[in-house]
Structure 1
Amino acid sequence: MNISKYEQRTLHALAQGGYIRHVRNGKSIIFAECITRDGYRLVDCSLDVFNKLRRRGLIRSSAGGPYRISPLGLSAVRSQADNR
Structure 2
Amino acid sequence: MNISKREQRVLHALAQGGLIRHVKDETGRIVAADCLNRDGWALTDCSMKLFQRLRRRRFVASSGGGPYRITRLGLDAVRAQLDNR
Partner of 2:74: 73
Provide the C-alpha distance between the structure 1 equivalents of 2:19 and 2:76, rounded to a whole number of angstroms. 17
One-letter code aligned to 1:5: K
- Give the match's secondary structure for 2:80: coil
Aligned AA (1:52) = R
Q: Hey, what's the Cα distance between the residues in 1 that align with 2:69 and 2:47?
A: 15
Structure 1 gaps of 5+ residues are: none
The corresponding residue for 1:8 is: 8
Unaligned runs of 5+ in 2: none
Question: How many aligned positions are there?
Answer: 84
- Superposed counterparts of 1:36-75, under 5 Å: 36-75=37-76
Q: Which secondary structure state, in structure 2, belongs to the residue aligned with residue 78 of structure 1?
A: coil
Distance 1:19 1:62 in 2: 12
C-alpha distance in 1, partners of 2:74/2:39?
21
Sequence identity percentage = 63
Runs of 4+ in 1 over 3 A off after TM superposition: none
TM-score by length of structure 2 reads: 0.96
Structure-1-length-normalised TM-score: 0.97
Note the C-alpha offset of 1:27. 2.4
